[in-house]
Amino acid sequence: MTTATTTPDATDVSSGSVLLTLMKLRTFIALFAVIAFFSIFAPNFLSTANIILMSKHVALNAFLAMGMTFVIITGGIDLSVGSIVGLCGMVAGGLILNGIDLQFGFTVYFNIVEVCLITLAVGVAIGAINGLLITKLNVAPFIATLGTLYVARGFALLSSDGQTFPNLVGKPELATTGFAFLGSGRVLGLPVSIWILIVVALAAAYVAKYTPIGRHIFAVGGNERAARMSGIRVDRVKMFVYMFSGFCAAIVGLVISSELMASHPATGNSFELNAIAAAVLGGTSMSGGRGTIGGTIIGAFVIGILSDGLVMMGISSFWQMVIKGIVIIVAVVVDQAQRRLQQQVTLMQLAKKG
Amino acid sequence: MFPVEDDTCVLRLEDVTKVYSGIVAVRHANLALRRGAVNVLVGENGAGKSTLMRIIAGVEKPSLGRILIDGEEVEFHSPADAQRHGIGMVFQELNLFGNLSVAENIFATREIMRGVRGIDHRAQVEKANHFLDKLDAGINAETLVEDLPIGQQQLVEIAKAISLDTRILILDEPTSALSAAEVDVLFKVIGELKAQGVAIVYISHRLEELMRIGDYITVLRDGQITGHAMVRDIDTKWIVRSMIGSDAKDFAKSVDHRLGEEMFRAEDICLPRKTGGLAVDHVSISVRAGEVLGIYGLMGAGRSEFFECVMGQHAHATGSIRVGGVEVADRDTSRRIREGMALIPEDRQREGLVQALSIASNLTLASLDRFVRFGFHIAGEREQSAIQSAIRDLAIKAPNPDFEVTSMSGGNQQKVVIGKALMTEPKVLLMDEPSRGIDVGAKADVFRTMRRLAGEGLAILFSTSDLEEVMALSDRIAVMSNGRLVAVIDRKDATEEMIVKASAEGHKTTRELAQ
Ligand SMILES: Nc1ncnc2c1ncn2[C@@H]1O[C@H](COP(=O)(O)OP(=O)(O)OP(=O)(O)O)[C@@H](O)[C@H]1O
Ligand SMILES: [Mg+2]
């Protein structure tokens, strides 16, 4: 073959692979695109204050989305996370403000660390209830978590008759002060919630890649029957992912009430949808078996920056919804296109080689 | 290399090449299919047989090359295109809708309509039953496909392909889950189709089948066509030589090692059938350490069901299991696996593989605990070296272990399922048709591995529908028929006639219990 004929082919192939690389990095590119766009069109977008504010918003969704990613990888869904956020906020607020009333004149108060631990335990427990419904009683994940969505929200409202628990500063004599640290504290210049996010995200990514339970999560989502036949304790794996999802939601409940220093029972309404969107945007497959924590975090950033940036540009919240929806759909379409293109590119490359 | 064109040739492939990411599956292949004849295709696992046939059936497009039908060039954009040209195919990995009935599957995409009143279900069932009866399938067309064992699903696929009324019928390992009786019926049907002038392509790793049914034989090796002959001019030795380039390795004979203590005992296992009666009927059997027990039986004899009961997959099964003298009380599969049992399931797609995971992850899926450090961390190097040695030991043709497992040929996927079970280092190994779809060379490898493991003190139970296999490999042979264990014979005393006779004997009362 002469060089004259091979050259155009070669550029053809390489342009294909460039496109392919671009598509593989699409979530990154989307992230840079939104950042670039808003830094031009939204004033003060790149100011440190704004970046920190935005990352705090993003962190909330990112927590939920991580829990959601594991759940979706096993082939399930967790609709209850928004309600768990609300209920856990109320648990923390109630414990700080009122303690637990033991009816006959005594009230037990917990110190702030205990309050946080109890709140996390509540989140994990609701996750465990989801898990039990799904594994032991064979309720479809969509229905089971839809049920707990209502139940948890109902209890959140009941806990205060729909009122807000205000002013959670706590009392020094009860050691309940310092709740604000979680939401507005800084360590080395970064908000505490971001540090927590980093720790949890690294742990989750590690679990996904380097531990048996992580591998099992993918196996269960890929082919539950084969997973069971390989000796994987499928029920345990499912319990784990729903409990982890509840845990993440509890963290968000704590962080939000700490930021506001108040807990409101309607907090977290429809957060689950944002979490699902972030996971899908990050490449998690709704049919199970595929997904990464890293992708999900980036997905959460794209969604978070998009909403905040649109707010800063003063775009109406109605348009914001339209735009967010379009971005999600486009992301999934690109995902499909990438798969097709990938095949074609390798095909061309190999066809040339021999 | 390929014979001159004559008017018996219906379809020709000219210089067809197919590349996938990472590999060239078919390389400059020229192939002619003749009408009224059985065109046999042989080759090692991953040689490219299925790929070549998927190209003809319109599932894959050739990267290069042309397809000619009756001398005219055609291009298929979809399987529907190919069907319009009279091409039907039974795929190696079955393609049925589990949630639909057999009749609905057979008539999928060409439902019998009653005008605006919708699908004529009664007519569909009637016609479907007609085709199923032709195959002696013993399946009711109204059953859901997911309720059928894989062998019967294969018959449904065949019935579907026959009902298409095709000019070219491609059968890609149609008999891998069938036993001798069904194969005989299928061959009769193939004979009829041949007489009607249909061109049939037949792929199988059971060489004696090829000798019986084939007219022309084409050999594929590493994606290239390396030989072509009339079947009447050749013998199985020729096939093996041209397939793997050397003579067949003998099936591993039992090396004389002493059998140990009783390792596995199943006592009075019963499993009720949905339709009444027992699918597994009071089966008791024991296997000693180092012993290989072959379980022979025809389709529906209850072998797979017995294995499933042993693995704890049926909640309503009764009976007890002992491993190493200790009763296994746990009823669920994962605990039983932890007790030292492993099963190589019959249906690799449904129960053996996680399709979304890589080859490597599938191999180690059941044995991750072995590679764990500090109780939670998977040690990468240890896992890698185990994967490498499994790929080597079983001669798995995997260009890159990180590719998805579905990118491999059917036989290589089967090897992954086998490798996965072996990696768990079980005490009792149950193998349900382990050689399904693997080539002669690989079969010898698997059998040698089985022998080695038995030598290391495992108790092995394997089921097969292949007489030669069961005779060559077992220390003892158990025959099941109609859910019952009808005979347990020492290999020394066993003859093929005895086994065949016993396997048909399900309704008689003679019954020996294994001790
Ligand atoms: N979808 C795919 N993506 C990538 N590679 C593939 C794909 N399908 C098949 N291959 C590769 O093409 C080659 C030929 O596969 P093919 O299925 O045709 O083999 P085969 O001859 O049918 O083998 P077997 O006897 O095991 O069924 C194999 O090396 C396989 O890895
Ligand atoms: Mg094949």
B110 and B125, same domain (yes or no): yes
Q: Which atom of ligand 1 is nearest to the CA of B44?
A: 25
Task: State the smallest CA–CA distance between residue B405 and chain A in angstroms.
Answer: 12
Contacts of residue A347 in chain B, CB cutoff 8 Å? 19-21, 63
Q: Give pLDDT, residue B515.
A: 34
B218 and B146, same domain (yes or no): yes
Does a structural domain hold residue B348?
A: no
Where is mean pLDDT largest: A85-99, B22-36, B136-150, B242-256?
A85-99
CA B124/CA B112 separation, integer angstroms:
6
| B52-76 pLDDT per residue, tens | 999 999 888 888 888 988 888 898 8
Domain boundary among B402, B425, B448: B425
Q: Give pLDDT, residue A259.
A: 92
Tell me, using a 6 A CB cutoff, whether residue B410 lines ligand 1.
yes
Question: What count of CB pairs under 8 Å joins A to B?
Answer: 97
Radius of gyration (C-alpha) of chain B in whole angstroms: 23
Q: Exposed (0-12), middle (13-18) or buried (19+): which is A1, by Cβ within 10 Å?
A: exposed
In this prediction the ipTM stands at: 0.80
Report whether pLDDT(A352) > 70.
no
B311 and B362, same domain (yes or no): no
Contacts of residue A285 in chain B, CB cutoff 8 Å? 356
A 231-260: CB under 8 A from B = 231-234
pLDDT band at B117 (very low <50, low <70, confident <90, very high): confident
Within 8 A by CB and 6+ apart from A195, the residues are A187
Maximum separation of any 2 CA atoms in chain B, in Å:
72
Does a structural domain hold residue B3?
A: no
Does a structural domain hold residue B320?
A: yes
Does a structural domain hold residue B349?
A: no
| A150-183 pLDDT per residue, tens | 999 999 999 999 899 988 888 888 888 888 888 8
Contacts of residue B366 in chain A, CB cutoff 8 Å? 230-232
Query: Domain limits at B59?
Result: 9-244
B267 and B369, same domain (yes or no): no
Q: Which of B63, B311, B357 lies closest to A351 in CB terms?
A: B63
B418 and B440, same domain (yes or no): no
| B411-464 pLDDT per residue, tens | 899 999 999 998 888 889 999 988 888 888 888 888 888 888 888 888 999 998
Rounded to two decimals, what is the model's pTM?
0.84
Tell me, using a 6 A CB cutoff, whether residue B45 lines ligand 1.
yes
B151 and B297, same domain (yes or no): no
B88 and B213, same domain (yes or no): yes
Q: Name the interface residues of B facing A (CB cutoff 8 Å).
A: 17, 19-24, 63-64, 311, 333-334, 337-338, 342-343, 345, 350-357, 361, 365-366, 368-369, 372, 376-378, 380, 420, 424
B317 and B253, same domain (yes or no): yes
B378–A233: do the CB atoms touch at under 8 Å? no
A231–B337: do the CB atoms touch at under 8 Å? yes
B228 and B276, same domain (yes or no): no
Q: Give pLDDT, residue A7.
A: 35
- The pick from B13, B20, B225 for probing ligand 1's pocket by mutation, whose C-beta has the most ligand atoms within 8 angstroms, reads B20
B470 and B441, same domain (yes or no): yes
| A317-347 pLDDT per residue, tens | 889 889 888 988 887 787 777 767 766 666 5
| CATH label of the domain that carries residue B273 | 3.40.50.300
Residue nearest to ligand 1 atom 1, measured at CA = B407
Domain boundary among B401, B425, B449: B425
B436 and B417, same domain (yes or no): no
Mean pLDDT of A212-225: 94
- The pick from B173, B407, B436 for probing ligand 1's pocket by mutation, whose C-beta has the most ligand atoms within 8 angstroms, reads B407
For residue B454, give both structure tokens: 């038995």
Q: Give pLDDT, residue A1.
A: 34
Domain boundary among B425, B447, B478: B425
CA B411/CA B205 separation, integer angstroms:
10
Strands (E), B362-402: 372-373, 377-378
Range B388-395 contact pairs with CB under 8 angstroms and sequence separation of 24 or more: B390/B363, B390/B419, B390/B422, B390/B423, B391/B363, B391/B419, B393/B419, B393/B445, B393/B449, B394/B418, B394/B419, B394/B442, B394/B445, B394/B446, B394/B449, B395/B441, B395/B442, B395/B445
Within 8 A by CB and 6+ apart from B375, the residues are none
For residue B230, give both structure tokens: 């009339």
CA A117/CA A99 separation, integer angstroms:
14
Compute the distance from residue B45 Cα to the ligand 2 centre, in Å.
7
- The pick from B19, B21, B45, B50 for probing ligand 1's pocket by mutation, whose C-beta has the most ligand atoms within 8 angstroms, reads B50
Helical packing angle, B440-455 and B236-244, nearest 10° = 90
B316 and B197, same domain (yes or no): no
CA B151/CA A61 separation, integer angstroms:
49
Does a structural domain hold residue B264?
A: yes
High-pLDDT (> 90) share of chain B, %: 16
Whether residue B293 contacts residue B460, with contact meaning beta carbons closer than 8 Å, is answered with yes
Does a structural domain hold residue B437?
A: yes
Integer angstrom CA distances of residue B46 from B18, B202, B220, B222, B408: 13, 16, 10, 7, 7
How many domains would you assign to chain B?
3
Does a structural domain hold residue B346?
A: no
CA A287/CA A56 separation, integer angstroms:
30
Does a structural domain hold residue B4?
A: no
